[in-house]
């Protein structure tokens, strides 16, 4: 294996780290939350900041607009004659922060602790944006291959306008290979190449037992409250061992890799007495089997509750689905299961929410060989072929549009990044290594 070009690139990326970190801090300071009810102007600000970063990195940049959608950012470095073009994907929107008290620092004020940068979006997915920009910077914008950067602003809300973006701008996104920097590494300092993504379907269920609330002592006994009905319904979604009980869904097998229960428990901060649920390998359960969770319930707060029978209650139910599972069929199976399991004849209405499709990547060919070599060089160890339990709605639709492009799923985050939760963070040394890997990949692909 020839390593000659990596020496200058390695130095270059090391010298660029203050710049890359400043880019990340700029982005983290913008509360670009794509969930409804948050200030949409912040998504325009983060799109503009992303555009500025990419243009400083040497790309020709513009905002892509779809009526009613947050702007996406397109950056381009034209391919030298005869060289391939790579599309680099990331998203500039973030999840809401949840309760401020749960954070140990301000969510939108980046702060470093023990080599990690904390703040909402630091890992999911603003580090993806700055690592793409960093890879361009490593070549002063004169990359040895063509580069198109596409940074969307609504991934965390399920990319509802994705089809419209692809219809209007798809031609400009054509590429031979795609790096989606929205997954992560296997461990801090140990690279990963993600080979599969789960999809997601979700619905809201409302049950009603009464036209209005009544005295719980006067009528409790024969008359059911809606919250108990809802609890019994939700309890049927798993069997006693914790396996998903919805029938007819695809299940697959995953490489167990070297993940022990003990390590997983540390990663998620699991309480000592709480047991893992479901059967099969841990990685099967995280990547290749369905998973159901109840995300929220609308019911009286305890402090506002009184001695009444609650007349109606609602829950939001989310189901992850493995590659090979059709999303529409999964949605139907979930809704049918819920409807069938509402006890005592209570009224039920269920509204489906959007879905994201699962996706299986290939791992074959010279593009993968180039990335494996680049990651091995940058991290000093080989990338782990891992799966992911999360969803990136962009991937399946994009892959259908570009059937001949090789898709690679990377990212600088790690299992301690706390994506979507409080105290989100990213390891700064891993940003450096991931950026170097991407830059080396450009070199190796150009010469392959």
Q: Which residues bind Mn ion (CB under 5 A)?
A: 124
β-sheet with 116-118: strand ranges across: 111-113, 116-118, 425-427
CB of 226 to ligand BES, least distance (A): 28
* Whether 316 contacts 334, CB under 8 Å: no
Binding of residue 124 to ligand BES (CB under 6 A)? yes
Angle, nearest 10°, between helix axes 365-379 and 428-447? 140
Angle at the Cα of 428 from the Cα atoms of 423 and 431, rounded to 5 degrees: 110
What would the two tokens of residue 104 be? 């140990």
Binding of residue 434 to ligand BES (CB under 6 A)? no
The site partner of 392 among Mn ion, ligand BES, none (C-beta below 5 to 8 Å per kind) is ligand BES
CB of 102 to Mn ion, least distance (A): 18
CB of 294 to ligand BES, least distance (A): 15
Question: Binding segment for ligand BES among 104-112, 155-163, 244-252, 360-368 (CB under 6 A)?
Answer: 155-163
359 exposed, middle or buried (CB, 10 Å; 0-12, 13-18, 19+)?
buried
CB of 3 to ligand BES, least distance (A): 30
The site partner of 183 among ligand BES, Mn ion, none (C-beta below 5 to 8 Å per kind) is ligand BES
Instruction: Determine the 3-state secondary structure of 66 from DSSP.
Output: coil
What would the two tokens of residue 388 be? 């992911």
* Whether 189 contacts 433, CB under 8 Å: yes
What would the two tokens of residue 438 be? 């991407």
Question: Binding segment for ligand BES among 10-18, 229-237, 240-248, 388-396 (CB under 6 A)?
Answer: 388-396
The site partner of 424 among Mn ion, ligand BES, none (C-beta below 5 to 8 Å per kind) is none
Q: What is the DSSP string of 87-99?
A: EEEEE--B-----
Instruction: Determine the 3-state secondary structure of 366 from DSSP.
Output: helix
Angle, nearest 10°, between helix axes 41-56 and 6-28? 160
Please give the Cα distance from 105 to 180 (Å, whole number): 29
Binding of residue 122 to ligand BES (CB under 6 A)? no
**Smaller CB separation from Mn ion, 198 or 373:** 198
**Smaller CB separation from ligand BES, 56 or 422:** 422
Minimal CB distance to Mn ion: which residue? 124
CB of 129 to Mn ion, least distance (A): 13
β-sheet with 199-208: strand ranges across: 291-298, 312-321, 199-208, 347-356
Binding of residue 352 to ligand BES (CB under 6 A)? no
Instruction: Determine the 3-state secondary structure of 160 from DSSP.
Output: coil
Rg value, the chain, Cα: 23
Binding of residue 94 to ligand BES (CB under 6 A)? no
Please give the Cα distance from 198 to 384 (Å, whole number): 18
The site partner of 432 among Mn ion, ligand BES, none (C-beta below 5 to 8 Å per kind) is none
Residues 180-219 that bind ligand BES (CB under 6 A): 182-184, 200
Binding of residue 155 to ligand BES (CB under 6 A)? yes
Please give the Cα distance from 432 to 414 (Å, whole number): 14
Binding of residue 97 to ligand BES (CB under 6 A)? no
What would the two tokens of residue 112 be? 């470093």
Please give the Cα distance from 35 to 37 (Å, whole number): 6
Binding of residue 153 to ligand BES (CB under 6 A)? no
Is the N-terminal amide bond of 125 cis, ω within 30° of 0?
A: yes
The site partner of 123 among Mn ion, ligand BES, none (C-beta below 5 to 8 Å per kind) is none
**Smaller CB separation from ligand BES, 58 or 107:** 107
CB of 440 to ligand BES, least distance (A): 22
**Smaller CB separation from ligand BES, 164 or 340:** 164
The site partner of 182 among ligand BES, Mn ion, none (C-beta below 5 to 8 Å per kind) is ligand BES
**Smaller CB separation from Mn ion, 64 or 90:** 90
Question: Binding segment for ligand BES among 178-186, 217-225, 276-284, 428-436 (CB under 6 A)?
Answer: 178-186
Please give the Cα distance from 354 to 351 (Å, whole number): 10
CB of 123 to Mn ion, least distance (A): 9
* Residue in the block written with tokens 């990377």: 410
**Smaller CB separation from ligand BES, 13 or 419:** 419
Choose, by CB under 6 A, the member of 73, 77, 151, 392 that binds ligand BES. Answer: 392
Query: Distance between alpha carbon 191 and the CA centroid of its chain, in Å?
Result: 17
What would the two tokens of residue 177 be? 């290979």
Binding of residue 424 to ligand BES (CB under 6 A)? no
Choose, by CB under 6 A, the member of 23, 25, 154, 156 that binds ligand BES. Answer: 156
Footprint of ligand BES (CB under 6 A): 124-125, 155-156, 158, 182-184, 200, 356, 388, 390-393
């Amino acid at each position: 294996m020839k390593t000659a070009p990596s020496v200058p690139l390695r130095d270059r990326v090391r010298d660029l780290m203050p710049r890359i970190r400043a880019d990340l801090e700029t982005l983290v300071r913008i509360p670009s939350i794509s969930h409804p009810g948050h200030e949409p102007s912040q998504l325009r600000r983060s799109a503009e900041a992303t555009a500025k970063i990419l243009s400083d990195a040497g790309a020709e940049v513009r905002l892509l607009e779809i009526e009613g959608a947050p702007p996406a950012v397109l950056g381009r470095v034209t391919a030298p004659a005869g060289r391939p073009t790579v599309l680099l994907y990331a998203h500039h929107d973030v999840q809401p922060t949840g309760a401020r008290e749960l954070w140990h620092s301000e969510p939108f004020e980046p702060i470093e602790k023990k080599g990690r940068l904390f703040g909402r979006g630091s890992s999911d997915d603003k580090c993806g944006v700055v690592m793409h920009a960093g890879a361009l910077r490593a070549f002063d914008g004169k990359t040895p291959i063509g580069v198109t950067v596409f940074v969307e602003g609504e991934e965390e809300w399920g990319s509802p306008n994705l089809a419209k973006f692809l219809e209007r701008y798809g031609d400009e996104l054509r590429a031979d290979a795609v790096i989606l920097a929205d997954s992560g590494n296997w461990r801090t300092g140990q690279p990963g190449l993600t080979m599969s993504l789960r999809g997601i379907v979700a619905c809201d269920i409302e049950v009603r037992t009464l036209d209005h609330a009544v005295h719980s002592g006067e009528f409790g006994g024969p008359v059911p409250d809606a919250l108990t009905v809802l609890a019994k319904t939700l309890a049927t979604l798993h069997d006693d061992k914790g396996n998903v009980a919805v029938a007819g869904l695809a299940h697959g097998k995953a490489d167990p890799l070297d993940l022990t229960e003990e390590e997983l428990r540390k990663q998620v901060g699991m309480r000592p007495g709480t047991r893992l649920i479901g059967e099969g390998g841990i990685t099967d359960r995280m990547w290749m089997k369905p998973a159901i969770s109840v995300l929220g319930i609308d019911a009286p707060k305890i402090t506002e509750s009184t001695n009444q029978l609650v007349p109606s209650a609602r829950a939001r139910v989310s189901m992850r689905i493995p590659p090979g599972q059709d999303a529409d069929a999964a949605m139907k199976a979930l809704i049918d299961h819920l409807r069938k399991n509402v006890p005592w004849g209570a009224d039920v209405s269920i509204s489906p929410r959007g879905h994201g499709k699962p996706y299986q990547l290939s791992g074959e060919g010279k593009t993968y060989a180039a990335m494996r070599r680049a990651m091995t060089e940058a991290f000093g160890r080989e990338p782990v072929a891992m799966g992911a339990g999360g969803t990136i709605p962009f991937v399946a639709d994009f892959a259908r549009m570009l059937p001949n492009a090789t898709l690679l799923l990377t990212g600088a985050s790690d299992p301690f990044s706390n994506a979507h939760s409080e105290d989100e963070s990213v390891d700064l040394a891993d940003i450096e290594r991931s950026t170097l890997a991407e830059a080396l990949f450009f070199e190796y692909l150009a010469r392959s």
